[in-house]
Amino acid sequence: MRTLRSEFPSFDPKQKAWQDSHCHLDFADFDGDRDAMLARAQAAGVDRFLVPGVRQAAWARQFELGSHYASWHLAFGLHPYYTAEHQRADLDELPQWLERGALAVGEIGLDRTVDDFDKQLKFFQAQLSIAESLQLPVILHHRKSLDVMHKLVRESGVRDGIVHAFSGSYEQAQQWLDLGFRLGVGGVVTYPRAQKTRATLARVPAAGLVLETDSPDMPLQGYQGQRNEPARVAEVFQSLCALRR
């Protein structure tokens, strides 16, 4: 049986092939060269991609694109960035998409920089309930919200998933690991100025880490202003290995 953990294993400094556990390959940013982008990733040793959903209006296109690529695995969710457009009916529809072979519920979460935090809370808790009922892991987005999210996830009963683009303290990292989650490691690990996050990622167990890019966003150091691509998982891996020596 395919699961999030089997298809997207934890960081291992001895691994020779990699997976991108968080990339939005359905976004229009890739419409002009999607096949070439995937070929570059595969040439770099990246062989699997988890493509999370962010809004109901894009789920059908995401599913259609995913059906063309055996290397894609999908998650479906309602991202806090799009809180203004989310409707109650979207929550009713979400389980139908998840039951089409999705590996996780996501990308979901809480973001203090986005308006209407009360609505975010309601949609986040509803999606946690769906994940728990379907026994699926969750892909979590956070911004200035790690602690309140941890409380809500703990209360929900969900005990598996990935905290995408983790940027918290060592103590927060341990709280999530103790809950059964892994931490997503992407381009931030390549920036020396990200001292707190790098120090945390150097200390936590390797089994608690998973590689990602967040393509087309969150470019690595040296690629600022450019579209991010899954091929750069290899560079994230190299940076993480160097940090943990």
In terms of residue numbers, what domain contains 172? 18-243
Q: How many angstroms separate the CA atoms of 209 and 182, rounded? A: 5
Does residue 10 sit within a domain? no
Buried b (16+ CB within 10 A) or exposed e, 87-100: eeebbeebbebbee
| Helices and strands in the chain: count of H runs, count of E runs | 9, 8
How many domains does the structure of the chain reveal?
Answer: 1
Whether residue 3 lies inside any domain: the answer is: no
Q: In Å, what is the CA distance from 28 to each residue of 25, 32, 52, 55, 143?
A: 8, 8, 14, 14, 24
Q: What's the CATH code of the domain at 82?
A: 3.20.20.140
Beta-ladder partners of 75:
104
Q: Kindly state the helix (H) or strand (E) to which residue 168 belongs, with its residue range.
A: none
Q: Which two tokens stand for residue 66?
A: 């995913």
Q: Does 142 belong to an annotated binding site?
A: no
pLDDT of res. 43: 98
Identify the pLDDT of residue 219: 98
Distance of alpha carbon 20 from alpha carbon 237, whole angstroms? 11
Whole-number pLDDT of residue 55: 98
Closest CA to 12 of 180, 234, 207, 176: 207
Q: Which amino acid is at 7?
A: E
Known binding residue 22? Answer is yes
Establish if 13 belongs to a structural domain: no
pTM above 0.85, yes or no: yes
**128 and 138 in contact (C-beta within 8 Å)?**
yes
How far apart CA 116 and CA 103 sit, in angstroms, is 29
Q: What is the CA radius of gyration of the chain?
A: 17
Q: Does the residue 47 lie in any domain?
A: yes
Q: Judge whether 5 lies within some domain.
A: no
To the question of whether residue 107 is assigned a binding role by annotation, the answer is: yes
**Secondary structure letter of residue 142 according to DSSP:** E
Domain annotation covers residue 8: no
Predicted local distance difference test score (pLDDT) of residue 1: 82
Q: Does any domain span residue 112? A: yes
Whether residue 68 is annotated as binding a ligand: the answer is no
Q: Is residue 136 part of a domain?
A: yes
Residue segments in the chain with a per-residue pLDDT below the cut of 70: none
What CA–CA distance (Å, rounded) separates 241 from 198? 11
Yes or no: say if 127 and 102 are a contact pair by the CB < 8 Å rule: no
Mean of pLDDT over the chain: 98
Q: Which of 109, 106, 95, 114 is nearest to 138 (CA)?
A: 106
141 is in an annotated binding site: yes
